[in-house]
Structure 1
Amino acid sequence: MPALRLDEISIVRGATQTARALSAEFNAGQVYAILGPNGTGKSSLLKAIFGELSLSQGRIHYGPHPLSMRHLASWRQRIGYMPQGTEIDVSLTVLEVVLLGKLDALHMYVGDELLNEALEIMQQVGIVDLAHRDIQTLSGGQRQLAMFCQVLLRDPAIMLLDEPVSALDMHHQLNLLEQVHQETRQRRLITITVLHDLSLAAQFADQVMLLGEGVLQASGTPHDVLTPERLSPLYGVAVERLYDSAGIPVIRPLRQMNRGLVN
């Protein structure tokens, strides 16, 4: 399977440079978590890979194919992109929103095969009971799950997920990220996700990338990268690294006690 490569890319948004000479390679069957403080270019990186932001420098390739604004529609055919915002302004059922993942194959009549595929994905993610609800009546977390189903139905080679669990409770966070992990393995996808929870990244990501001020600070396995020595200066807080029963790192920020307070 082809790899996705970033070759010395730089991204400028307005007067701000959100990525500087960033290089990376993403391989099939792997989940990559993009981590870092707010405003360090994580979402901009996904948008650049999707072709929503132009590069000021460098190139992006999927195998031998370069990202080209002239052939953007062809480039995006292989990508399932779930942005941060899940607001939908039109009145559609959840099932109709999921079916939009196959927009290029939809006709006036939706065949049983496609309909069953959409319902099966919704069953796996745990929202099949919402199929006929209006998407606008759902919570933010439920809309995130619906948008993830839309991405899966698209049958992409690359999944770009921008904070996919930000509005979910613990049960649905674990369920969705487990689905991400399984689908990535089974379909041999390249999955790149922005996460804020470092401990969730340690559980579900094969590789993590730490961004700081648009620069790649470190990349590698969660065990190698998620160390207090790297995280504390980057986030500006003291952290400690513990381990769960499976030996997976758990990152805990330490409370900064205000010793001037009187009990």
Structure 2
Amino acid sequence: MSSLDILNATILRGATCTAQGISLRFEPGHIYAILGPNGTGKSSLLKAIFGEIEMQAGEVHYGERQLSRRQLKAWRENIGYMPQGNELDACLTTLEVVLLGHLDALHMHVGDDVLEQALMLMQRVGIQHLAHRDIQSLSGGQRQLALFCQVLLREPKILLLDEPVSALDMHHQLSLLEHVYTETRQRQLITITVLHDLSLAAQFADRVILLGEASVKAEGTPHDVLQPALLSELYQVPVERLHDSSGMPVIRPVRQTHSASIEYAQLKHSQLNNSQSLC
């Protein structure tokens, strides 16, 4: 199966350079989480892979095919893309929204096989009972699951998810990411997602890519990359790393006043021990 390769990518957004000479490789069957503070080019990187914005330099390859704006439609046939802040203003049912993933033109003439495939996808993610509900009447989490079914109906080989869980409650965050994990493994997708929650990234991503100052600050497993010193420097806040019951990293920002209180308590404890040892 083919890998996705970014070679020496340079991306400008206005006068701001969001990527300078970035090179990355993405393999099938894995989830890659792109992390970093606001404004570090996470969404721009996804848009460049999708061909929505043009790179000033560099190349993107999938197997033997290279991203070309002259053949953008053919390039995108391999990609399922969920952009940030998807707005659904149309008066459509949930099933119709899912079926749009299979249509190049806005019409609702589909074969029975496509209809059955759409309903099976909805059943797999637990929203088949919402098929005939107005999409506007659904919760944010239910709409995201419908959009996820929409991109899967395209049968992509590459899945690009831009902050898919940022507006969801904990239940729907876990539900959507569990489905992303399952589909990535079963379909051997290359899944690249932008996340802000570092602890969720640690749970679901095989590898994380930490962006800052237009470059890759670190890339590797969550255990290797999510280090307090590096995160504190990049995010400009004190950070501590805990571990959950399965041993996965849990990243928690620490209030500076709280940190100062801890340091004061530790100092007092040390002074007390010293005074006791002198007695």
TM-score, normalization by structure 1 = 0.94
Question: Match for 1:33: what amino acid?
Answer: A
Give matches, 1:1-12, under 5 Å.
1-12=1-12
Q: Report the equivalent of 2:25.
A: 25
**Structure 1 segments (4+ residues) deviating >4 Å:** 105-108
- Is structure 2 residue 201 aligned with structure 1 residue 201? yes
Distance 2:41 2:229 in 1: 22
Distance 2:34 2:256 in 1: 26
Aligned length, in residue pairs: 260
Question: Match for 1:51: what amino acid?
Answer: G
Partner-residue secondary structure (3-state), 1:191: strand
Larger deviation, residues 143-152 vs 38-47: 143-152
> Aligned in 2, Cα 1:188/1:94: closer, same or farther, shift over 3 Å?
same
**Cα offset, 1:139, TM superposition:** 3.3
Give matches, 1:1-263, under 5 Å.
1-104=1-104, 109-257=109-257
Give RMSD over aligned pairs.
1.7
Distance 2:111 2:204 in 1: 35
> Aligned in 2, Cα 1:167/1:108: closer, same or farther, shift over 3 Å?
closer
Question: Match for 1:87: what amino acid?
Answer: E
Q: What per-residue deviation string (whole Å, max 9, x for no partner) do you get for residues 95-144 of structure 1?
A: 10101111149975422322122112112222222211222333333322
Distance 1:120 1:108 in 2: 18
Q: Does structure 2 conserve the Cα–Cα contact (< 8 Å) formed by 1:29 and 1:187? A: yes
Q: What per-residue deviation string (whole Å, max 9, x for no partner) do you get for residues 120-171 of structure 1?
A: 2112222222211222333333322211111111110000000111121111
Distance 1:111 1:92 in 2: 18
Distance 2:207 2:119 in 1: 31
> Aligned in 2, Cα 1:27/1:35: closer, same or farther, shift over 3 Å?
same
Distance 1:44 1:89 in 2: 25
> Aligned in 2, Cα 1:41/1:105: closer, same or farther, shift over 3 Å?
same
Distance 1:54 1:229 in 2: 34
Q: Does structure 1 conserve the Cα–Cα contact (< 8 Å) formed by 2:96 and 2:108? A: no
**Cα offset, 1:211, TM superposition:** 0.4
Q: What per-residue deviation string (whole Å, max 9, x for no partner) do you get for residues 187-215 of structure 1?
A: 11100000011000000000000001221
Which structure has the larger Rg over C-alpha atoms? 2
Q: Percent identity?
A: 69
